[in-house]
Amino acid sequence: MTSPMLQLEGVVAGYGPTTVLDHLSLQVTAGERVAMIGRNGVGKTTALRTVMGLVPLRDGRIVFMGEDIGRLTPHQRAQRGLGYVPQTRDIFPSLTVEENLVAGLKRRPRAALDDAYALFPRLAERRRNGGGQLSGGEQQMLSVARALLGQPRLILLDEPLEGLAPLIRQDLLRVFRRLSDELSIPVVIVEQQVDEVLGYADRALVLDHGTVVHAAPAAELREDTETLERWVGLAVH
Ligand SMILES: Nc1ncnc2c1ncn2[C@@H]1O[C@H](COP(=O)(O)OP(=O)(O)OP(=O)(O)O)[C@@H](O)[C@H]1O
């Protein structure tokens, strides 16, 4: 079996007196697309933020590419190859699309922008527009493109489809597919659009009270209305 790229073992984390992640364990292997679903407030965002070091680890281990990263700063984790696209769309509204991308280049040559534009032709068309003038879908594309300029080895996406029209959601999912299919970048995606994300992912993890309560191939879970109703509170068809 391929060794996991990312491994969480008994992760405990929370805010103040509240424990949100309660011995969360999961693994992600190379090129995989993993969906994380569950009701509101079960800890999905907290799980991604804890992997990035934005919420401190209280117990357990986080291992990335064989290294225990649980005490590293968010910046160090990003340097190790963890990419993160937060729910809040991480862009500068007062800068143009191109300036936003340049800010994400770090020390990479400017030619790397061509890769971003190839992946998102819409951003090439809008390169001189201000970030704040973009549609929600375009802002999400910019946020993802910026994260990719950091050359992540694994990318964490927090509700990237939220508030977007169906056609834009499909556009984004097509790009996310290329990440794993063509670039072998595994994707962990938290999403409320359960039907669409299960159509996209290989494997699904259902969270409740900060731990995995169900794990299955995504296609299988998509048909499993009983499990979805029980843990996610909705039927997808
Ligand atoms: N900064 C914070 N300070 C205190 N409590 C927080 C903070 N962020 C989240 N929480 C609480 O932690 C719990 C888990 O939140 P989290 O955002 O991880 O859940 P989620 O599964 O991502 O939910 P949603 O689907 O609504 O985004 C919730 O009860 C939430 O109110």
Q: Which of 99, 131, 151 is the last residue of a domain?
A: 151
136 lines ligand 1 (CB under 6 A): no
Domain that holds residue 199: 30-56+70-81+153-237
180 and 220 co-located in one domain:
yes
161 and 221 co-located in one domain:
yes
20 lines ligand 1 (CB under 6 A): yes
Number of H helices, E strands in the chain: 10, 10
Percent of the chain, pLDDT > 90? 81
Residue 200 within any structural domain of the chain: yes
78 lines ligand 1 (CB under 6 A): no
178 and 226 co-located in one domain:
yes
45 lines ligand 1 (CB under 6 A): yes
Instruction: Write the CA distances from 184 to 4, 121, 144, 153, 187, integer angstroms.
Output: 14, 21, 16, 8, 9
34 and 137 co-located in one domain:
no
In sequence order, which residues have a C-beta less than 8 Å from that of residue 191 and are 6 or more positions away?
35, 36, 37, 157, 159, 160, 161, 197
Residue 18 within any structural domain of the chain: no
Does residue 16 register a pLDDT over 80? yes
Residue 108 within any structural domain of the chain: yes
40 lines ligand 1 (CB under 6 A): yes
Does residue 161 register a pLDDT over 70? yes
**CA-closest residue to ligand 1 atom 2:** 15
Question: Does residue 215 contact residue 226 with C-beta atoms inside 8 Å?
Answer: no
| CATH code of residue 160 | 3.40.50.300
pLDDT at residue 236, as a whole number: 53
Residue 2 within any structural domain of the chain: no
Reported confidence tier of residue 13, pLDDT bands at 50, 70, 90: very high
Average pLDDT over all residues of the chain: 93
Classify burial at 118, counting beta carbons within 10 Å of its beta carbon; exposed 0-12, middle 13-18, buried 19 or more: exposed
In angstroms, the CA 67 to CA 133 distance is 41
213 and 235 co-located in one domain:
yes
Question: Does residue 146 contact residue 99 with C-beta atoms inside 8 Å?
Answer: no
Q: Which of 112, 136, 151 is the last residue of a domain?
A: 151
Does residue 114 register a pLDDT over 70? yes
Question: Does residue 184 contact residue 112 with C-beta atoms inside 8 Å?
Answer: no
Does residue 21 register a pLDDT over 70? yes
Is residue 31 left, alpha or beta, with left meaning phi > 0 and alpha meaning psi from -120 to 50? left
Residue 218 within any structural domain of the chain: yes
Reported confidence tier of residue 105, pLDDT bands at 50, 70, 90: confident
171 and 237 co-located in one domain:
yes
The angle subtended at Cα 202 by Cα 230 and Cα 198, nearest 5°, is 45
166 and 136 co-located in one domain:
no
144 and 172 co-located in one domain:
no
pLDDT at residue 86, as a whole number: 93
Residue 63 within any structural domain of the chain: no
| HEC letters along 191-225 | CCCHHHHHHHCCEEEEEECCEEEEEEEHHHHHHCH
**CA-closest residue to ligand 1 atom 4:** 15
7 lines ligand 1 (CB under 6 A): no
Q: What atom in ligand 1 is closest to the CA of residue 18?
A: 5
pLDDT in tens, 72-101: 999 999 999 999 999 887 789 999 999 999
77 lines ligand 1 (CB under 6 A): no
169 and 234 co-located in one domain:
yes
52 and 76 co-located in one domain:
yes
88: tokens are 């809040």
77 and 179 co-located in one domain:
yes
Reported confidence tier of residue 234, pLDDT bands at 50, 70, 90: low
pLDDT at residue 11, as a whole number: 98
Does residue 237 register a pLDDT over 70? no
pLDDT in tens, 222-232: 999 999 999 99
In angstroms, the CA 36 to CA 224 distance is 16
pLDDT at residue 1, as a whole number: 56
- Tokens 């990003």 -> residue: 78
- Which range of 8-17, 103-112, 164-173 scores highest in mean pLDDT? It is 8-17
ipTM: 0.95
Quote the number of domains for the chain. 2
Q: Which of 133, 151, 169 is the last residue of a domain?
A: 151
Mean pLDDT computed over 172-178: 92
Question: Does residue 49 contact residue 218 with C-beta atoms inside 8 Å?
Answer: no
